Structure 1
Amino acid sequence: MRSDHLTEIIVFGALFALVSGMGFVAARWRRPGSMDSLDEWGLGGRGFGGWVTWFLIGGDLYTAYTFVAVPALVFGAGAAGFYAVPYTIIVYPLVFLVLIRLWSVSHVHGFVTPADFVRARFGSPTLALAVAVTGIVATMPYIALQLVGIEAVLKTMGVHGHWPIVIAFVILAAYTYQSGLRAPALIAFVKDVLIYLVIIVAVLYIPTRLGGWGDVFSAAEAKFAKTPAPGDGILLDGTNQLNYAMLALGSALALFLYPHSVTGVLASKNRDVIRRNMSALPAYSLVLGLIALLGFMAIAAGIAPVVTGGKADTNTVVPLLFDAMFPDWFAGVAFAAIGIGALVPAAIMSIAAANLFTRNIYKEYIRRDATARQEAAVSKVVSLVVKVGAVACILLLDPEFSIDLQLIGGVVILQTLPAVALGLVTRWFHRGALLAGWAAGLVAGLWMLYEIPNAAKRKEHFGGSAFKLSDLGLDTATTVYAGVLALAVNLAVAAAATLALRTAGIADGADATRPDDYLADEGDPKTGRMELTGST
């Protein structure tokens, strides 16, 4: 630890302690008579209004990893890193009506997870299990990557070793266990205020230190001209334009399939809250675009990433930029914004993963007669296990491998789209066909990811998500996001298998939902919790 970072460390520690205290106090915020149910502990009582939902979902989707990884990608690859901006713009119109329907049917039947809905819609606990396991697998590395953001900040401040991360997640585990979803919902207010403050100051102040925006873009253009690589530069080229569009589309389709995104939606108190938030949340995309520009600023400032174990950690470029450009006290505020930005999504993700295990594995296959109190107790314990697993990913694995796992997670979670998203608008697919499509999509997606090399990282496999169409026998240098191709395989198999199964007269599962369930709003009658019947 270097003494010249003392002010930054004190400010960072003070703000971190403040939000940790808020996490524990959150247990008394809107406190119900009892927290011993998933509705209260895991969904905050399903009563969050417009402002709370705005900060909760925003804090859930725009993570610490976003604030370091997006500009780091722009720093390393240029324009390709801006894919995150269009996808966060198009995602909300895409999911607007679908999420309203999910909230309504969940309100009527008491669904806590997307797998609960699939279980009832298609009468298949096996399909629900597939959705639940997929969600947990995709979420685990996502939680681990929040630690990458904190670790980048700590490296910049000269704090080395894993002990600060372990301490941070012990505190996170403690207040999440006690307060449930109320903790990240309350902390999200502080997190978003800090992020907006830091980014607005950064885009107004840092360019003036670097000679203006013209010099910033000129420096970035000069860098990519000196180190030419396919697809890298301040503009896209013919090889990566299609991949850019498909990556944006695939990321948009995947975003609200993640369990933590659904958790934020189901915690809303009515359909109008969701409408307002889906209309207003694109405002975050403005901030995200400004965050991405930090990558070009880092180039202009001559920032060199921290080298650890002989490898340059590009995730440190934004913290290093703040360290170089800001006064120590404000750099401490900026570092705290990134650190706190990890706590909110990590808490929600661990709660969502725990709810999936409890409702769709424990209650379905281990203890069907579990009470609401027992469900809450199991979820609390599993949320701790999930956090331990996330810390283990950082302690035992190369952080770059954790990033690769998250890349795989995006392709994996997309394979739940036919059952979850399309299931909200149609019952046409056969439950057996959906399982076949899910399996085919996973196999195709993992095969494509395995075949993608990365010369810069010296990897022969799992080197990225841009799959070369030439590997399919096409005479082109164009690449396409592997997740979209895998989803196309999934849908094709599901559609063909549905036709075959219906032609063969194979019985389908019973639909426990009714058309009116998808239009229900706050105050409408509830049918109660889903009964666990069926065997397929």
Structure 2
Amino acid sequence: MTDLALQPVALAVFLVLFVIVTVLGFMGARWRRGDLDTLHEWGLGGRRFGTLISWFLLGGDLYTAYTFVAVPALIYSVGAIGFFAVPYTILIYPILYSVFPRLWRICARHGYLTAPEFVRGRFDSRALSLAVAVTGILATMPYIALQLVGMQVVIAALGLQGSGLWADLPLFVAFVVLAAFTYTSGLRAPAIIAVVKDLLIYATVIAAAVIIPMHLGGWGKIFAAVPAAKLTLPVPGPNTLGSYGAYATLALGSALALFLYPHSMTGILAASSGRVIRRNAALLPAYSFILGLLALLGFMAIGYGVGHAPEYAAGFHRYGPNFAVPALILAAFPPWFAGVAFAAIAIGALVPASIMSIATANIFTRDIYKVFLKPGATDVQESRMAKLVSLVVKLGALVFILVLPTTAAIQFQLLGGIWIIQTLPAVMLGLLRWRLRPGALLLGWACGMAVGTAMAASTHFKSATFALHLPGAFIAPGYAALYALIVNLIVALVLSAIMNAMRSAEATARDPAERFGF
């Protein structure tokens, strides 16, 4: 099988845009100057990002390179169920509006930089805080690795292939660039780069939504080329919710989980006020519109027949359906615009990967290093440790991709979604006046982690859905993360109620919630 052809014009445009972004990343250290020897400035940008910058930052944070590659690839390969990503990104914004301004105010008042730090202050429990911290780090690591998968696909589409070290050299270069500007500029770098990335993404997706249907003779012909089985969800049979249940629970569970990820939380806490968060909850659905157009690229790829074109066979052989979007771009656009589109995807990997590495570094430094390893750490020691950890995290993600097969990263990302949602009771319910007990929350977290992992293992880590068998021989396929969260909530709430009933009035008066201002 021959390698993909080198795309010199696309490569030149790609490199020019990549160099511009690299320069902007290093310039971030001088933008809105602050003392980058403090974790507050390096890891959260001093909480000074207004509505516009927060909009770009959160958009760049949530809509990653793997989203641009994987969502159309899922629709290309399995069809309509892949559209669950569109309603899920609509459901998240009412949650953002109603929950997270309060979290921002509490964290700003107490100087908290991470969700585990909030949990530790709210429940006065280092064990529960450690559980939330470790969960966040474990869930984020494969997420960073998958950004590099997106870059691998783009690099292959440009024709930069080979064997041995040469094959991975472009990825090493991207890693060095990412590590360098993150280390020097902190969160300011992805914040400023996100503006360029999002403008490129908007231009690419809108152009594709207009030009490709014109090439193919209109949307009617595109949908006519899609097999009927992929156009709609199959109607459930008797005694089962079928794919309807899977679709609905994937959307709801993903919406509940998304803002619990450390990188999402970092983008929120970097805002300058709770009002900025509310404004962004109203403005960010614009990205959902773009995501809907992006998802349709999967059907466009079917219409173009890129999966059967011999010139793209090497890409599909190596990357499977993930190569559908790059192949479509190469087939539908002139080389210079393909370079713009590929740069948008690559930069769409750099922005979230840098935020993810900063977020995990913040968590390790504030919630593990300072709490358990060096309680008396100074601001300078904190920032140095965070910078070092951010490098280690990125290096770990790079090794993950180079050593393990891509399917391993996808499987761990599946677990990441199941795991991170188990922190919801401690973080989101911790914002309420409910008298939840840290021991009950910790046990609920452990039960949710065990049940969710077991459900994923029962599918051999190939599916996010689990067929739940209910009384009356009724089968309810659904998102394993949501089912595990239900177990988590039942254990935490019931056990908290029992423990509260057994507490004395004096113990209730000493409740950490009272000291915390609840």
Q: TM-score range by the shorter chain?
A: over 0.9
Q: Which residue of structure 2 lines up, in the alignment, with residue 194 of structure 1?
A: 200
**Letter paired with 2:462:** G
Equivalent position to 2:374, from 367, 378, 401: 367
Report the alpha carbon displacement of residue 310 of structure 1 after superposing the two structures with TM: 5.7
Q: Which residue of structure 1 lines up, in the alignment, with residue 14 of structure 2?
A: 12
Counterparts of 2:262 and 2:30, CA distance in 1 = 25
Report the alpha carbon displacement of residue 427 of structure 1 after superposing the two structures with TM: 3.5
Q: Greater shift after overlay, 264-273 or 192-201?
A: 264-273
Counterparts of 1:4 and 1:260, CA distance in 2 = 35
> Is 1:404 aligned to residue 411 of structure 2?
yes
> Is 1:204 aligned to residue 210 of structure 2?
yes
Task: Return 5+ residue gaps in structure 1 as ranges.
Answer: 225-231, 453-460, 516-536
Q: Which residue of structure 2 lines up, in the alignment, with residue 62 of structure 1?
A: 63
Task: Return 5+ residue gaps in structure 2 as ranges.
Answer: 162-166, 237-241
Counterparts of 1:357 and 1:181, CA distance in 2 = 16
Counterparts of 1:3 and 1:75, CA distance in 2 = 23
Question: Within 5 A, what are the aligned runs for 1:115-126?
Answer: 115-126=116-127
Report the alpha carbon displacement of residue 478 of structure 1 after superposing the two structures with TM: 3.8
Q: Which residue of structure 1 lines up, in the alignment, with residue 33 of structure 2?
A: 31
Report the alpha carbon displacement of residue 64 of structure 1 after superposing the two structures with TM: 0.4
Report the alpha carbon displacement of residue 502 of structure 1 after superposing the two structures with TM: 2.5
Q: Which residue of structure 1 lines up, in the alignment, with residue 497 of structure 2?
A: 499
SS of 2:95's partner is helix
**Letter paired with 2:57:** L
8 A contact 1:298–1:321 mirrored in 2: yes
Q: Which residue of structure 2 lines up, in the alignment, with residue 345 of structure 1?
A: 352
Report the alpha carbon displacement of residue 378 of structure 1 after superposing the two structures with TM: 0.4
How large is the RMSD of aligned CA atoms in angstroms? Answer: 1.7
Q: Which residue of structure 2 lines up, in the alignment, with residue 258 of structure 1?
A: 261
Q: Greater shift after overlay, 154-163 or 272-281?
A: 154-163
8 A contact 2:4–2:156 mirrored in 1: no
Report the alpha carbon displacement of residue 311 of structure 1 after superposing the two structures with TM: 5.5
SS of 2:32's partner is coil
Q: Which residue of structure 2 lines up, in the alignment, with residue 79 of structure 1?
A: 80
Aligned residues between the structures? 497
* Alignment CA distance shift 1:308-1:190 (3 Å): closer
* Alignment CA distance shift 1:272-1:309 (3 Å): closer
Equivalent position to 1:443, from 447, 450, 454: 450
SS of 1:467's partner is strand
SS of 2:226's partner is helix
Question: Within 5 A, what are the aligned runs for 1:162-173?
Answer: 162-173=168-179
Counterparts of 1:296 and 1:358, CA distance in 2 = 45
Counterparts of 1:260 and 1:367, CA distance in 2 = 24
Q: Which residue of structure 2 lines up, in the alignment, with residue 523 of structure 1?
A: none
Report the alpha carbon displacement of residue 475 of structure 1 after superposing the two structures with TM: 2.0
Q: Greater shift after overlay, 311-320 or 131-140?
A: 311-320
Q: Which residue of structure 2 lines up, in the alignment, with residue 113 of structure 1?
A: 114
Report the alpha carbon displacement of residue 500 of structure 1 after superposing the two structures with TM: 2.6
**Letter paired with 2:263:** H
Q: Which residue of structure 2 lines up, in the alignment, with residue 22 of structure 1?
A: 24
Counterparts of 1:51 and 1:132, CA distance in 2 = 29
SS of 1:134's partner is helix
SS of 1:268's partner is coil
**Letter paired with 2:375:** R
> Is 1:392 aligned to residue 399 of structure 2?
yes
Q: Which residue of structure 2 lines up, in the alignment, with residue 146 of structure 1?
A: 147
8 A contact 1:80–1:236 mirrored in 2: no
8 A contact 1:445–1:482 mirrored in 2: yes
8 A contact 2:17–2:343 mirrored in 1: yes
Counterparts of 2:345 and 2:398, CA distance in 1 = 18
* Alignment CA distance shift 1:74-1:25 (3 Å): same
Q: Quote the sequence identity (%).
A: 53
> Is 1:355 aligned to residue 362 of structure 2?
yes
Q: Which residue of structure 1 lines up, in the alignment, with residue 164 of structure 2?
A: none
Q: Which residue of structure 1 lines up, in the alignment, with residue 305 of structure 2?
A: 302
Counterparts of 2:4 and 2:107, CA distance in 1 = 52
Q: Which residue of structure 2 lines up, in the alignment, with residue 272 of structure 1?
A: 275
8 A contact 1:184–1:344 mirrored in 2: yes
**Letter paired with 1:418:** P
Report the alpha carbon displacement of residue 498 of structure 1 after superposing the two structures with TM: 1.1
8 A contact 1:77–1:233 mirrored in 2: no
* Alignment CA distance shift 1:195-1:496 (3 Å): same
Report the TM-score, using the length of structure 2 for normalisation: 0.93
Q: Greater shift after overlay, 335-344 or 305-314?
A: 305-314
Report the alpha carbon displacement of residue 308 of structure 1 after superposing the two structures with TM: 6.7
Report the alpha carbon displacement of residue 150 of structure 1 after superposing the two structures with TM: 0.7
Counterparts of 2:342 and 2:94, CA distance in 1 = 33
**Letter paired with 1:298:** A
SS of 1:162's partner is helix
* Alignment CA distance shift 1:5-1:473 (3 Å): farther
* Alignment CA distance shift 1:42-1:233 (3 Å): same
8 A contact 2:415–2:456 mirrored in 1: yes
Q: Which residue of structure 2 lines up, in the alignment, with residue 465 of structure 1?
A: 464
8 A contact 1:44–1:267 mirrored in 2: yes
Counterparts of 2:422 and 2:74, CA distance in 1 = 26
